[in-house]
Structure 1
Amino acid sequence: MRIAINGMGRIGRLLFRRLINDPAFTLVAVNDIMETENLLYLLKYDSLYGKFQGDISLSDNAIVAGDKKVIVLQHEYPSQLSWKDLDIDIVLECSGKFTNKAGASEHLKAGAKKVLLSTTGSPDIPLMIYGFNHHRLDNTIEIVSPGGCMTNCSTHILYILNSIGIESAQINILHSYTSRQELVDTAHKQFRRGRAAAESIIPVEIDLAQSLERLLPLQDKIAAVSVRVPVTNGAMADFTVQLKEPAAKEEINLLFKKAAENEYKNIIAYSEDPLVSADIKGDTHSCIIDGTLTSVAVKQVKIIAWFDNEYGYTSRIIDWLLYWKKLMS
């Protein structure tokens, strides 16, 4: 399978690192308007995941990593990209700019066979969460939104709890700061995002509830907020769920433990270790249920789950690529 990445931000660069030596794929090209020397530097050195393992250099208009050569393009719009000439099977749309059907379709017009977003796209793009409804994918579908890291965490948890029955759910995602925030106080259309990310605990607006209501039969029963905290990686998801029936802590934990061992294996995990956010860096799961922090008050249950918002999420992107590869072969 021949892969291209459009947009070399945090997710694009981590996917480069993970795909470059994966024998299941051929990473053919990347596209970003940043200077190529700067891109090389950011691929070679990463503040979270360390130095690139192996040799990596520039050669003409390509990045060479070991014996692999990846073409570097520098175009602003997908319509300018030569995906047909490069025989690209799937474009990973990681720029965050072309997330509606019209924008993502420009990759198809440029010759790519399929497009996989790295976020929750607009409602005109199918929203599919790996491990939940990915089986609905067929070869007639050309563009897929795999949701975001928060959606991938939350969907599974709410689906499992809904086997008991959910009256309502309040979700608070305590999340590391991101590139959509500012290093020092400055103007921003969402005022709080303009405050210095490393100096404050900052509530931000998110569309998680709307995404979950597209996936689950819980319309008007979900509310969500994200609170950005001054760490560079990781997230803790705090769910307060009103159930339809009383439940015990042991019953809830057993439900998640069995799910993690069986149908959700490799997607969710269950732990009774006293975890902190630093412990989940590099974890491949969409969420890690912290059984030590489960609490129940009659019908109200609180679930705490951890996830690496970059490594866990790119793990699901790779699962999608493997799944799509089987369908296309």
Structure 2
Amino acid sequence: MMRIAINGMGRIGRLLFRRLIDRDDIELVAVNDIMDADNLAYLIKYDSVYGTFPGTITHQPGAIAANDKVVKAFRQDKPAALPWKDLNVDVVLECSGSFSTRAGAEQHLMAGARKVLLSTTGSNDIPLLVYGFNQHALSKEETIISPGGCMTNCSTHILYILNAIGIKSVQCNILHSYTSRQELVDAPHKQFRRGRSAAESIIPVEIDLQHSLERLLPALANKIASVSTRVPVANGAMADFTIQLQHDTSRQEINRLFATAAKNDYKGIIEYTEDPLVSLDIKGNTHSCVIDGTLTSVVGNHVKLIAWFDNEYGFTTRMIDWLPLMK
């Protein structure tokens, strides 16, 4: 049984805890975060997006008890000091966002963990591997990998499929729920817009999505531009792609391309729908992207494509998918 530890118990870390705790093939042995264990137990039990945990959650001295399992809970700000060797940890899920460089992630290896899976796009010297796209490139020798982020996991498959027709340029706007990197009330921030009240405005923010996509799809270098527009909802995202193709196409051709992909090679990764969805309908969806065929439009070689995704649940599904490959 694979032994897992989670470092960083924010939105992704807590959702992974909920999803892993009752798995038969995985043992969640420890978590680490700077917050008090009683506060952590409370936030795992009561979640404003996904509701109350369907079981029992309590805190004990140095541990969180979930159902009939006890998970050690540490409050250590230096990963190298964590007892991963003593706990025989196979993989650390690095979800703090603070150790996404190779030097940072290697602290978990120094502590005795065998491997590290980031919850974000890491530095350029860490392999960027998107499940469903290039997971076959993982070598047994690699000890630290990045699975990208939720936006990368949505976008990579879409652009790869469309590049079979030939892409001249891509403009991508990710309409995304607000995140902890924004402010509840107006406050100072080095990106001024991120400092504005997240629940009161539609807020454009700078992202580095194009950098990740160019690493994965080098043929599209200098052809991609991206922005994220944060909207006042707590969960869910809608990716709006405006793409100039090499050749004229049709709405029917584009929808058929993705409907076929969703049924075959990308089953479980891409979903295709013609239901009239809104963002709330995507909550808890496990796919990396859900193509909304009702919103596809084409003018000559200009394509507008819309894809929904649950930025938390879909992404944690991909992280869990990676674990069997990291044995």
The whole-number CA distance in structure 2 between the counterparts of 1:282 and 1:44 is 17
- State the secondary structure of the residue aligned to 1:305: strand
- Please name the residue that 2:234 is paired with: 232
Query: 1:114 offset after TM fit, Å?
Result: 0.3
- Please name the residue that 2:172 is paired with: 171
Structure 2 counterpart of 1:21, one-letter code:
D
Structure 1 counterpart of 2:280, one-letter code:
A
Q: Give the 5 Å matches for 1:101-116.
A: 101-116=102-117
The whole-number CA distance in structure 1 between the counterparts of 2:252 and 2:142 is 42
Match of 2:281 among 279, 282, 286: 279
Q: Give the 5 Å matches for 1:175-254.
A: 175-216=176-217, 217-254=219-256
The whole-number CA distance in structure 2 between the counterparts of 1:24 and 1:263 is 26
The whole-number CA distance in structure 1 between the counterparts of 2:180 and 2:83 is 28
The whole-number CA distance in structure 1 between the counterparts of 2:228 and 2:25 is 35
- Please name the residue that 2:8 is paired with: 7
Deviations 1:70-97 (A, max 9, x none): 0001000111111001000000000000
- Please name the residue that 1:152 is paired with: 153
TM (norm. structure 2) is: 0.99
> Any unmatched runs of 5+ in structure 2?
none
Number of aligned residues: 325
Pairwise CA RMSD: 0.6
The whole-number CA distance in structure 1 between the counterparts of 2:324 and 2:141 is 17
Query: 1:15 offset after TM fit, Å?
Result: 0.1
- Please name the residue that 1:19 is paired with: 20
Query: 1:60 offset after TM fit, Å?
Result: 2.2
Structure 1 counterpart of 2:128, one-letter code:
L
> Which moved further from structure 2: 61-70 or 260-269?
61-70
- Please name the residue that 1:52 is paired with: 53
Deviations 1:224-246 (A, max 9, x none): 00000000000000000000011
The whole-number CA distance in structure 2 between the counterparts of 1:55 and 1:200 is 37
Deviations 1:94-138 (A, max 9, x none): 000000000001100110000000000110100000000001112
- State the secondary structure of the residue aligned to 1:96: coil
- State the secondary structure of the residue aligned to 2:255: helix
Query: 1:250 offset after TM fit, Å?
Result: 0.3
- Please name the residue that 1:141 is paired with: 142
- Please name the residue that 2:121 is paired with: 120
The whole-number CA distance in structure 2 between the counterparts of 1:92 and 1:99 is 11
- Please name the residue that 2:71 is paired with: 70
The whole-number CA distance in structure 2 between the counterparts of 1:222 and 1:152 is 16
Is the aligned partner of 1:302 residue 2:317?
no
The whole-number CA distance in structure 2 between the counterparts of 1:58 and 1:277 is 34
TM (norm. structure 1) is: 0.98
The whole-number CA distance in structure 2 between the counterparts of 1:120 and 1:264 is 22
The whole-number CA distance in structure 1 between the counterparts of 2:252 and 2:64 is 52
- Please name the residue that 1:96 is paired with: 97
The whole-number CA distance in structure 2 between the counterparts of 1:201 and 1:77 is 37
The whole-number CA distance in structure 1 between the counterparts of 2:138 and 2:242 is 32
- State the secondary structure of the residue aligned to 2:174: strand
Structure 1 counterpart of 2:271, one-letter code:
A
Structure 2 counterpart of 1:107, one-letter code:
H
